Structure 1
Amino acid sequence: MDQRRLCTDGGDPGSGAALESGDGSHHPGPPRFVTVGEGIVDPNGNEMETRDDLAPRNPDGDGTYVWRVLESPDSSSAAPTDGPIAEFEPDVPGTYALALEAPDGTHELTVRAFPEVDEDAPRPQVELEATVADGHVRLSATASVVGDGDPSVEYYVDDRNGDVLEPNGTIPVDAIDERVRVYAIAVDERHSVPDAIELVLDGEGANEPSVRVERPFEPPEWAVDAVVYEIFTRRFPDRDEPTFETIADRLDHLEALGIDVLWLSPFLEAESGFGTPAERGGPHGYNTRDYFEVDPDLGSVADFEALVDACHERDIRVVFDLVINHTADTHPFYEAAVDETHPDHERYRDWYRWEDFDERDADTYFGWDDIPNLNYANPEVRDYLLSVVDYWAERVDGFRADVAWGVPLSFWTEVSDRVSGADGDLFLLDETLPSDIEMGGGRFHMHHDDVLHDALERLGASFADGGTDGSTAADSADEPADETAAVAEGNAVADEFTDSAADLEATTADAILEAIEDRQRRGAHPDSEWLLYVENHDTDRYLTEYGRDAQLAASAATVTLPGSPMLYYGQETGVMGRRDPMNWESFDTNLLEHYRQLIDLRKSHPALQSDADLERIPYATDTDAAVAFAREAPASGRRLVVALHFGDGTATVRIDEPVEGTDLLTDEEVADDDGTADSWARELAVDTAVVLEAETTDSSESGGQ
């Protein structure tokens, strides 16, 4: 396909109508909340740091855009950089009003700059609410912070909706023109991620217009409590004929396992297709050559759409791995950019970021010279990549954004607004490592929980008896079965990801509880979901590294802790190599049954689902490798006690609350009670994981089920 034509008409000619962001104008979007000293910047070279900028929405590649300051705090000399897409570094705390001169007029944008603070201080959280009475919408918010803080709350109305907020924190109903979006920010030592509501006129009430309150940052209902399954697309289907069709033939396995979401690693036409050797990462597909064509060895776009239909027939949603931070260096745009004799050289030279153009030294990450970073400071690039989003949003249920930290926050805000407006059920999962809470609250619904993953890795290394050597019987025709030692470059990056996670000491098994509690300290948006995983395509297999018992405990942690568990293909069947072919003919059936039981229990028990609280409970144990905790669903009054053991052999765990003696995972008796009045008489024998029904709490008995 001639991708240059795609850049001219804004999308694939057969893709249907393009979507619009917001109201379809060039307005740059919602108010911005930043810190003096950090600002809104997008420099080269920040491999693990989030990028940001000021940019027009729905950009025209050849449009003229100019930024300027309308109002600023006294003594400020800050000004946006030149160019249609700008950087801005507030130099004084306060509120700034910026103007964007665009082809469709002048648009104003509020930038609230908070003082520089200690980055180790906890960030507050805020939840915005509204009530409607007497012709006014009254705003209220709940703000909290870990520690002794007492956050205040500031309210802002989206600049696109005009000045409708009154000094007393109310909005007249008759000032609402169809819909108004309102933001709340909690402020303590640091400021929070914003929360938002939309006030929508909803017809006439008995005496006045009716207003409906919507929550635009909430994830799609189907994504809450979802069990996710990632496949390495070219290694999951039948070995002899690996195609979309043979992936569809294997969906019964996912349905029987209880999978809700299928995340496919990249399947577009890429430099790293079938036949890519292990030393280059195998056929991973993360270096795209064509954003509108699938790998022809897998099939056609129609074949992919048939796979999606087959998933939907089984109530499985499909997530597309969106790789738009970079392209392959064999992409036609990059080839034009580096070739001064190419007729489109002048156009595409500015589509990429350069360390030194004369040396053809592109801006890249981790020394990956073959995947140059795209230049989001170019409106044409943004326009083109929005057309990519539009095209695939019609064909899938969600996006997992690869290297999300490498794409400016402003772009992800626009993508979220764009696809939410077209289909409120579209789901967005980010890859930011270390996980960045700024990606929540109007950008992504779910984040990789690298902090929990880091804790699980450290526990495996500390307490496990070591992994097993060897590989599965499913040797690949063009790649060694066990790639772990071969993918040295991938290992280095995986190590960088792990080392960059939150600095939690995983010296005892309760580090997994610290990892969950750390979300609140970091100030994650209350609606943010978390992807819990033992392994993925960038890590070694937990089974290989730490052994079977440790893997059973770690997988139980991902299913019993708050968040959405993810399985990486073959994790449940005994695949040993990071990117080995699926072992269809040699399943570890006992391991598979363990995962089926875990997932079934999670789906059937409300105390393991998203609305259930995580509670630390007193426990005593004979090893640092064991931990116990409780989950309780207040609405149903159901309560569970979970005990996990990451070490070798059997751990003894004593708890001081009444539980049933039968393990819900194995139906075996694991709890002894000597019948005395001693509350510590309940002793659990824990090999890897035990889940026990606990007594219903008094406060919820009346509402139980």
Structure 2
Amino acid sequence: MHHPGPPRFTDVGESVELAPRDPDSDGHYRWRLRSAPDDSDVELGDGPVVHLDPDVEGTYTAELDAPDGTHTQTVRAFPVSRRSARFSVSAEEVDGDLDGVESASVIGPFNDFVMGKHRVERDGDEWGLDVELPSGDHDAIFAFEDGFDPYATAEVTVEGAGRPRVRLDGRREAEEVVITATAKPAPAGDDPEVEFHLDDRDALDESDVRLDGDELRVPVDSLPVLSRVHAVAVAERPSIADTLTIHVESESRDVRDDVAFDRPADPPEWVRDATVYQIFVREFAGEKLETTFAEIERRVPYLESLGIDTLWLTPVCASPTRHGYHITDLFDTASDLGTREEFESLVERLHEAGIKVLFDLVINHTARDHPAFQMHRAGVPEYEGHYERIPRGQDTTGVDWAGDDSPGHYFNWAGIPNVDYDSLAVRRWMLDVVDSWAPLVDGFRCDVAWGVPHGFWKEVRERVKAEDSDFLLLDETVPRRVGFHENEFDLHYDTDLYYALRDVGTGDAPASELLDALVDAERLGFPDEAVHMRYVENHDEDRYATECDEGTLRPAVAATFTLPGAPLVYYGQERGVPEQRGPMRWHDGDAGLTTFHRDLVALRDDLPALRAPGVDRVVCDVTDGEDETVVAYERAGEESDAVVVVLNFTDSTATVTVDRSVDTHDLLTDTDVSGHDDGVVVDDVVVLRAN
């Protein structure tokens, strides 16, 4: 079915891409705007993929003529929620020689890190850019003369409330189905109101729906076999939408005995208990051997011994690079790693060990050496629209592209041009890639997820979940963006905790910053059901122990295992590998650090409280040690005993007392940690059962 999908929600001035699903590259598709708010001057383009740019608040209705009929898609545009702000840096803030430097590219989440899009000129000793931003904290990078040597970062805070949140639940009352919306205000925000929206794909008629405050009611006999209801909470800003699916299982429309409800945006239950281990593939066999699928398979017993249950492999597709993100064939494995059959053998062995496999899905770009890009630049007609094109004046590569336009890319990644999702051929290509790998693995880690359109991710989610509801989607959005939770991704990078851990580890922030960082998810508008991946390092970040103070790695790792969310262990983190992408240390690794990680994995598996969603601050008094390097918190589940975790971010022992009654037997080390005057002794972390 080519229907473009669920209703879309946006702000005035924020573009929404509309596209047919499961497209036929040679099919005929035509959009038109059926209705728009008064005073709107919006027009839709002529292509099969169009961009609606709402200019006034209200509801827009677009129609798509497709080979299988005419389809309707609703777009709700909320008022502008952005305010004027200014990024600026001065010469004295830059660590580098700026003599003769007159311009800089300014990049950040506000422009998707596109170099050359926003250039600013030097004004005395300052470079500045005025932008429109929503409330919250924002970062930008000033890349001088379109490069990163030198560069500077700037921060700005826009005052205002964050996003509210909403949750939908359903129940049957006699001959009615009742959908209840529970809305929560943003921190320091106003109480929101709720808007309900039906799905244009369904046969549920608005005339059959009755609104009663924050409830939507529908007669059971009016329900089609499948209905989807969406809701948005609206205050100073709108929430992301929540969705509830209503299934009617019956043999005839006259018999409506079995009504079931499903929350399609929720993550699979297993991810809440998961411990993820990431392998940088080509370094896992060590310093002497070349890594292959067979060599990884021979090391599965080590992964079993760690107790991890989910393995993320960096890209395994054909690539001329060791990191694998410059892909030249999205359908086949790299020859140096092994055949596709050998990859499938590795996955089968991991499954036998009870370990799920995450495939690194790279569909924002290809290598510049990919035949499709070569055909594109060489003027082969059928590849004309495969890649993004930007005005020649925005190009930052210094390459003579021999034309009036240049390939689009992010940062300074000139070797990996962005594909163009305005092309039906590209959408068909990438859906085929998804279909090729999804049946073999248990989930996708999606590289540069923020570069791929929301509408496409929504289609991918429905596509893979239709075959396997437990399939996992992990997004790379840096910094994390709540919009990618709206019927798109299950597990999210927690960049806020990552940066907080770094600041604590370098002494730039107190240990209590960790708990402050957890509040950011609520301010951003992530629902309680969202799961966040907690990590101290990955293949894109320097090693924590290399960058941070002595004695801070172990408490930082312990934080990722004892705070809510899914912990990530980056290969070698547990063996003391000092290089970001260095060879795995097998014969000379840190055995004590490895045991520490094993014990954390086992403890988290054993204690349901550590996998529960909530966390409460615990007041602690440091009687021997430094106040700012110690933090304590309580973890408890509905059906589990509470535990108190104390972290000490120094290489010196601390003695603390907490405002809870606790057993002084440390559950992690199985030792008594009682100290003088009812205190407990903390080297790096203790986990104590609350009385």
Deviation at 1:37, TM superposition (A): 2.2
* C-alpha contact (below 8 Å) 2:565/2:613 kept by paired residues: no
- Give secondary structure in 2 for the equivalent of 1:87: strand
* Stretches of structure 2 lacking an aligned partner (at least 5 in a row): 83-133, 136-160, 393-400
TM-score scaled by length of structure 1? 0.82
Rounded to whole Å, the distance in 2 between the matches of 1:233 and 1:148 is: 45
Among 279, 293, 297, the residue aligned to 1:231: 279
Q: 1:548 to 1:316 in 2, by over 3 A?
A: farther
* 2: CA distance, partners of 1:573 / 1:295: 27
1:247 matches 2:286: no
Over residues 26-83 of structure 1, what are the superposed CA-to-partner deviations in whole Å (9 max), with x where a residue is unaligned? 111000011112232xxxxxxxxxxxx1111011112222222112222122222331
Please tell me the residue identity of whatever aligns with 1:392. W
Q: Are the structure 2 counterparts of residues 526 and 67 from structure 1 closer, same or farther at C-alpha, using a change threshold of 3 Å?
A: farther
Which stretch shows the higher mean deviation, 365-374 or 382-391?
365-374
In structure 2, the partner of 1:218 is 266
State which of 349, 357, 378 in structure 2 corresponds to 1:318.
357
1:300 matched to 2:339: yes
User: Identity over aligned residues, as a percent?
Assistant: 44
Amino acid corresponding to residue 167 of structure 1 in structure 2: R
4+ residue stretches of structure 1 with deviation over 3 A? 203-208, 671-674
Distance between the aligned counterparts of 2:676 and 2:31, measured in 1?
Answer: 72
- Report whether the alignment pairs 1:202 with 2:249: yes
Task: Say which of 649, 674, 686 aligns to 1:646.
Answer: 649
Q: Look up the match of 2:685.
A: 689
Q: Which moved more, 1:124-133 or 1:386-395?
A: 124-133
Counterpart position of 1:184: 231
Q: CA deviation at 1:654?
A: 2.4
Tell me whether 1:435 sits opposite 2:480 in the alignment. Answer: yes
* 2:550 is the counterpart of 1:522: no
SS of aligned partner of 1:284: coil
Q: How much does 1:515 deviate?
A: 1.1
Q: 1:418: how far off?
A: 0.5
Report the equivalent of 2:453.
408
> 8 Å contact 1:437–1:525 — kept in the other structure?
no
Q: Deviations over 1:259-278 (max 9, x none)?
A: 11000000110121xxxxxx
Mean Cα deviation higher: 370-379 or 651-660: 651-660
Alignment correspondent of 2:466:
421
| Root mean square deviation, CA, Å | 1.7
Distance 1:434 1:673, change over 3 A: same
| 2:188 aligned counterpart, secondary structure | coil
CA contact (8 A) 1:84 1:379 kept: yes
1:185 Cα deviation from its structure 2 partner: 1.0
Q: Secondary structure at the match of 2:534?
A: strand
Aligned to 2:93: none
SS of alignment partner, residue 587 of structure 1? coil
Per the alignment, residue 492 of structure 1 pairs with: none
Task: Verify: 1:545 aligned to 2:547, yes or no.
Answer: yes
TM, length-normalised to structure 2: 0.83
Paired position in structure 1 for 2:593: 591
Query: What residue in structure 1 maps to residue 190 of structure 2?
Result: 149
CA positional deviation for 1:194: 1.1
Q: Which amino acid aligns with 1:686?
A: V
Please state how far the C-alpha of 1:84 moved relative to its aligned partner.
1.1
Alignment match, 1:105:
69
Q: What corresponds to 1:27 in structure 2?
A: 3
**Further displaced range: 166-175 or 97-106:** 166-175
Deviation at 1:122, TM superposition (A): 1.2
Is the counterpart of residue 79 in structure 1 residue 43 in structure 2?
A: yes
Distance 1:671 1:117 in 2: 53
How many Å separate the matches in 2 of 1:548 and 1:225?
Answer: 30
1:623 is aligned to 2:627? yes
Counterpart code for 1:354: R
Answer 1 or 2: higher relative contact order, Cα 8 Å, separation at least 6.
Answer: 1
- The yes-or-no answer on 1:59 pairing with 2:94 is no
Matched to 1:350, the amino acid is G
Alignment CA distance shift 1:359-1:208 (3 Å): closer
For 1:36 and 1:545, the matched residues in 2 are separated by 42
Q: Distance in 1 between matches of 2:566 and 2:495?
A: 13
Give 1:694 shift: 0.5
Shift of 1:226: 0.2
Q: Secondary structure at the match of 1:543?
A: helix
What letter corresponds to residue 284 of structure 1 in structure 2? Answer: H
Aligned to 2:387: 352
- For the residues of structure 2 that align with 1:569 and 1:454, how far apart are their CA atoms? 20
The code of the aligned residue for 1:125 comes to R
What is aligned with 1:444? 489
Which residue of 1 is the match for residue 582 of structure 2?
A: 580
Query: How does 1:260-409 map onto structure 2 within 5 Å?
Result: 260-272=309-321, 283-340=322-379, 345-355=380-390, 356=392, 358=403, 361-409=406-454
**Residues 164 and 171, structure 1, Cα contact 8 Å, conserved in 2:** no
Q: Which residue of 1 aligns with 2:106?
A: none
Secondary structure of 1:350's match?
coil
* Aligned partner letter, 2:300: L
Deviation at 1:148, TM superposition (A): 4.6
Q: Distance in 1 between matches of 2:239 and 2:189?
A: 16
- Aligned partners of 1:56 and 1:115: how far apart in 2? 27
Q: Distance in 2 between matches of 1:653 and 1:67?
A: 66
Of 492, 508, 511, which aligns to 2:510? 508
The CA distance in 1 between the partners of 2:34 and 2:412, in whole Å, is 42
- Cα drift, residue 615 of structure 1: 0.5
Q: Distance in 1 between matches of 2:333 and 2:352?
A: 22
Pick the aligned partner of 1:167 from 200, 204, 210.
210
2:221·2:256 contact (CA, 8 Å) conserved in 1?
Answer: no
- The one-letter amino acid of 1:646's match is F
Residue 400 of structure 1, CA deviation: 0.4
> Which of 241, 256, 266 is 2:305 aligned to?
256
The CA distance in 1 between the partners of 2:659 and 2:210, in whole Å, is 53
Aligned residue for 2:538, secondary structure, equals coil
Shift, 1:572, TM fit: 0.5
Partner AA of 1:250 in structure 2: R
Residue 292 of structure 2 contacts residue 336 of structure 2 at CA under 8 Å; is this kept in 1? Answer: yes
CA distance in 2, matches of 1:148, 1:107: 37
TM-superposed CA distance for 1:222, in Å, is 2.2
168, 175, 183: which is aligned to 1:128? 168
Give the letter for the 1:222 counterpart: W
Pairwise CA distance, 1:218:
1.8
Deviations 1:608-658 (A, max 9, x none): 00x34200122233321211111111223x111111121231233321210
CA contact (8 A) 1:623 1:651 kept: no
Task: Kindly indicate whether the alpha-carbon contact (under 8 Å) linking 1:445 and 1:527 is maintained by their aligned counterparts in 2.
Answer: no
Structure 1 distance, partners of 2:613, 2:14, is 37
Once residues 156 and 635 of structure 1 are traced to their aligned partners in structure 2, the CA distance between those partners, rounded to angstroms, is 36
Q: Aligned partner of 2:690: which letter?
A: A
Amino acid at match of 1:254: L
Map Cα deviations across residues 107-133 of structure 1 (whole Å, 9 max, x no partner): 111111111125212111111011112
| AA at the equivalent of 1:362 | P
Gaps of 5+ in 1: 1-24, 41-52, 273-282, 463-505, 675-681, 696-705
2:13 to 27, 37, 49: 37
